[in-house]
Structure 1
Amino acid sequence: MLLLSAKALLPKKMLPRFVISRRPALLLVFFLLSLVALAQHPARPLARPRVYVRTNPASPAWELRNGQWFDGKRFQKRVFYVKDGLLQRSRPAHVDTVVDLRGQWVIPPFAEAHTHMLDGTRGLPAMIEKYLREGVYYVQVLTNSRRGAEAARPFLNQPRSVDAVYANGGLTSTLGHPFMAYEPRAMGFYDYTQWKIKQDTIAKSRLMENDAYWFLDSLPDLNAKWPRILAGRPDLLKIYLLDAKNYERTRRSGQLGDKGLRPDIAAEIVRRAHAAGLRVFAHVETADDFRLGVRLGVDGFAHAPNYGGRDCPDPADCYLTAADLRAAGRRGIMMTPTVWIGYNFTPADSSRLRRHQTAQRELLRNMVRSNVAPLVGADWYGETPVGEALAWEKLGAFDHGTLLRLWTETTARAIFPSRRIGRLAPGYEASLLVLGQNPLLDFPAAVRDIRLRVKQGERLPGPPADRAAQAGTVGTVQQP
């Protein structure tokens, strides 16, 4: 029975690799104990949270007339009203402002499902302004400094700012990813070319431990640190799986940042997180990492396997099969595939780029067919998800209506499950963008042509250049 349970929980390739190995008996004992942990403590799916909405009684009462409103597939000419920061079809007793949209196109705001921005107050006002300027209202931070989140939270999650959730420190093994993303910079080593030279010094440092990353090598480690992880009030958690089936080999390699969690520790984290009502996203590198994550019961994946487009002697190590995606779809798992990185190939790699883009295109389409929600998430330092969405459009995986819905509805509601956002319908939050062009016809031009921004019933100021260029494109009539 134990072996049957193990096969049901671990990637098929993992069991033979260990069974035929001639490694010491201690390693076999460790592996069998890992199987027991996975088999006896499967993670329970999270209960769906209750539907909720963020009202804003301080917002003015609006009438929005002569607009073309996106219904998830196409645009419909409609009139909407705003009261208490919510959309409604019936006219309220008093209207403060009438806005003539002059036939322009109204869509829900954009969302960012994978970033590491908004981490601390340094540069925070400029990043908030950039998100809002580009129409991004909802942001999911997948690994950050806990102290950074605590410093930033007072400036977020309000009508005139960005709404954000935080995973806090990444959960990994000693010296595993994301150690090298945080520790060298905390030490003042900003030039990454120096990191290899300084690696012995960096490896001894722990300035960001238990803040931007947690080392969890054993169950006693997890028992000791779990209360402090929860005390940081994360909105979700992020675990790191990097070639997890070869965990022991990478652990002994001594390389910094090329490893993640032991599979049984990852399983226990997912179980505890779900018991605490927290979603879990997993960073993965290989197809086997993805398969393991599905069996552990994670809620989402940060990156698709082989998102960087490296050459793979064995495609099974790099690319997901239809069966892989169906298994994830049955669990309602979502993923930020990170498409834009594939565009970093040099011209000399053009044939490799075409192969990678073909694989990305098929992945996106097969995700939708398999009920694996594709989420727009750039993981692009200093940037918004606009570049990632445009990379999706360039691939041509979806028609523009589907792409718009995935970005504005699917991604937003993945970040804030059961919150009434991402749709332009009565009872939903009055958060919207008015575009000067039809995104179903020219998606790249339209998503950059924002004429009006409204969040929870409040009009957001556009940048001075926008206001000068777009003066008069949205008419406003004050009511007596």
Structure 2
Amino acid sequence: MGWSSSGFAFAALLASAGNAAAPPAREADNGESPLVITSVVVLDTERGTPSAPQDIFIDKGRIVAIAPARTRAAPHDARHIDGTGRFAMPGLIDVHAHVGNGGSARQDDASRVVALGQFLRYGVTTVFVPGATGAGDADFPGLRQRCGSHAIVCPRIFGSGSIITARGSHPVSTIFDMPQDVPAAATEARGVTVLEPGQDIAALIAAKAATGVDAIKIVVEDGPPPWHPKPRLTDDQIKTIVDAAHARGLRVFAHVSTAQLTQVVVDAGADGIMHAPVDPLADATLRRMAERGIWYVPTFSLYDGILTWARKQREADPYALKGVPAAVIESLAAPPFLAASAETENEALGYLRNVSQNLHRAAAAGVPVALGSDVNNPFVYPGYSAHEELSKMVQSGMTPAQALKAGTAGGAAFLSASDRIGRIAPGFEADILLLSRNPLLRIENSRSIVAVIADGRVVQGSISND
């Protein structure tokens, strides 16, 4: 695949989409020569407005200029993409994305590389990886280096390194099914740090900061419900972690699943919650989150995945089938930890109702919302699940514009990177989705992907529902 003398060969790009074998994603070019997208409607996902047709000029991975169509000359060596009748929006940002494919079979580095490329094929150009296998303290620096150097094709990577949890708590004694006395090395291999009673928290945070992490993730969990009750981090430990992280300029994001534990982490000064609680949040909690700008990440896909297992929905979704390897879907006939859990379909439906209502109330209260799907839980597929999150946000009462903001500018602000990602503007990273339909009118139009541009490079094999 390559470039024609007058522009990009769109037919070749589209013909490569939807490969059921799902090889690692490839970049159709190395981004070394300038690129111009001509006569395209640019969507401002912060304000929810479309532009008149514009030309977008890209060079060395960045947007260097935007001008009204046909008013600015292109560099003589520029490649061209005809954007006539198309819509350009910022690449999607998933701020709760573990490294994996969302199946239940054992994964290795090769399968994780395929999963990372799958994010891009579905238009997710930036992810925040909150620990777990392949992205713990030992692995995260190398992962970011491989991605940043284009040694592998993957989104822009932010991360927390290993998750901090209490001994005997989630996910070690729940999803991992490890014993209470499991050695620290065994949990670190799965991207989880077990905080021992009396451990020097300041030293722990200093060591994590030295690895170059962007934030700290903690687990404050006495369940989840199928495994309740479990030990959890104490209130004093949470506050000490938050204070130590803030002293080093790192924010703290907390896994919670209940309204009561949300209040605990809000009181401790945490900067965001990484799941929507499955029971109703108090109005006072929402007011405080809004006042302090504490982030709210719903992860609808996590809960919806439980329903999918019971109802077999995603196995039949053509948009999933176009990009998710068949072996991944086949591995989910009876996901082990779901099959063994106590959660019934009725319980999951109740969780989803509360998650939806909590989001509606949070958005109405002015709580900042960012898109996060919790990729690599069963049925939570890389990239695909970001579009599911957008749809669920709108079904919960957000407008398409609000949902798109959560998935672009909101994610950038969550990552403290609003000065370089999350917008289509001069000086910003050239992370762009080219769509055939306007998602401001119907959120499912985010799936009408014509091309994905990440770091100024066109990704081969983008997945479209057209």
TM over 0.5: yes
Contact residue 81 and residue 92 of structure 1 kept, 8 A? no
Q: Which residue pairs with 1:334 in the alignment? A: 295
Question: Partner amino acid for 1:157?
Answer: G
2:391 counterpart SS class = helix
Distance of aligned partners of 1:68 and 1:93 in 2 relative to their CA distance in 1, 3 Å threshold:
closer
Q: Which residue pairs with 2:185 in the alignment? A: 207
Contact residue 61 and residue 92 of structure 1 kept, 8 A? no
Q: Which has the higher helix share?
A: 1
Mapping for residues 52-451 of structure 1, pairs under 5 Å:
59-72=32-45, 73-79=48-54, 80-84=56-60, 85-90=62-67, 91=72, 94-95=75-76, 96-117=78-99, 121-144=109-132, 145-158=136-149, 161-180=154-173, 184=176, 195=177, 203-210=181-188, 212-222=191-201, 225-243=204-222, 258-306=230-278, 318-343=279-304, 344-345=306-307, 356-381=351-376, 383-394=381-392, 395-444=395-444, 446-451=445-450
Q: Which residue pairs with 1:454 in the alignment? A: 453
Unaligned segments of structure 1, at least 5 residues: 1-56, 185-194, 245-254, 307-317, 471-480
Name the stretch that deviates more: 118-127 or 60-69: 118-127
**Backbone CA RMSD of aligned residues:** 3.2
Q: Which residue pairs with 1:474 in the alignment? A: none
2:96 counterpart SS class = strand
Once the two structures are aligned, what percentage of the paired residues are identical? 23
Name the stretch that deviates more: 265-274 or 97-106: 97-106
Question: Partner amino acid for 1:155?
Answer: R
2:33 counterpart SS class = coil
Distance of 1:457 and 1:392 partners within structure 2: 24
Contact residue 37 and residue 80 of structure 2 kept, 8 A? yes
Contact residue 146 and residue 168 of structure 1 kept, 8 A? yes
Distance of 1:350 and 1:149 partners within structure 2: 36
Distance of 1:440 and 1:104 partners within structure 2: 13
Larger radius of gyration: 1
Distance of 1:82 and 1:103 partners within structure 2: 20
Question: Partner amino acid for 2:75?
Answer: H
Cα displacement (A) at 1:177: 2.0
1:123 counterpart SS class = helix
Unaligned segments of structure 2, at least 5 residues: 1-29, 101-106, 312-342
Question: Partner amino acid for 2:399?
Answer: D
Distance of 1:61 and 1:105 partners within structure 2: 20
Distance of 1:150 and 1:260 partners within structure 2: 28
Cα displacement (A) at 1:402: 2.0
Contact residue 378 and residue 385 of structure 1 kept, 8 A? no
Q: Which residue pairs with 1:9 in the alignment? A: none
Contact residue 390 and residue 404 of structure 2 kept, 8 A? no
Instruction: After superposition, give the CA deviation of every residue in 1:171-207 in whole Å (9 maximum; x if it has no partner).
Output: 122222232368x5xxxxxxxxxx4xxx65x734443
Contact residue 68 and residue 77 of structure 1 kept, 8 A? yes
Question: Partner amino acid for 1:264?
Answer: D
Cα displacement (A) at 1:155: 1.8
Name the stretch that deviates more: 351-360 or 416-425: 351-360
Instruction: After superposition, give the CA deviation of every residue in 1:376-413 in whole Å (9 maximum; x if it has no partner).
Output: 11113161253354255242422222212221221233
Question: Partner amino acid for 1:359?
Answer: N
Distance of 1:372 and 1:449 partners within structure 2: 29
Distance of aligned partners of 1:131 and 1:223 in 2 relative to their CA distance in 1, 3 Å threshold:
closer
Contact residue 69 and residue 105 of structure 1 kept, 8 A? yes
Cα displacement (A) at 1:133: 0.4
Taking structure 2 as the reference length, the TM-score comes to: 0.71
2:385 counterpart SS class = helix
Mapping for residues 7-86 of structure 1, pairs under 5 Å:
59-72=32-45, 73-79=48-54, 80-84=56-60, 85-86=62-63
Contact residue 86 and residue 427 of structure 1 kept, 8 A? yes
2:212 counterpart SS class = coil
Contact residue 39 and residue 83 of structure 2 kept, 8 A? yes
Q: Which residue pairs with 1:5 in the alignment? A: none
Distance of aligned partners of 1:228 and 1:422 in 2 relative to their CA distance in 1, 3 Å threshold:
closer
Distance of 2:228 and 2:441 partners within structure 1: 47
2:408 counterpart SS class = helix
Distance of aligned partners of 1:378 and 1:61 in 2 relative to their CA distance in 1, 3 Å threshold:
same
Taking structure 1 as the reference length, the TM-score comes to: 0.69
Instruction: After superposition, give the CA deviation of every residue in 1:30-86 in whole Å (9 maximum; x if it has no partner).
Output: xxxxxxxxxxxxxxxxxxxxxxxxxxx964323322212102213222222223422
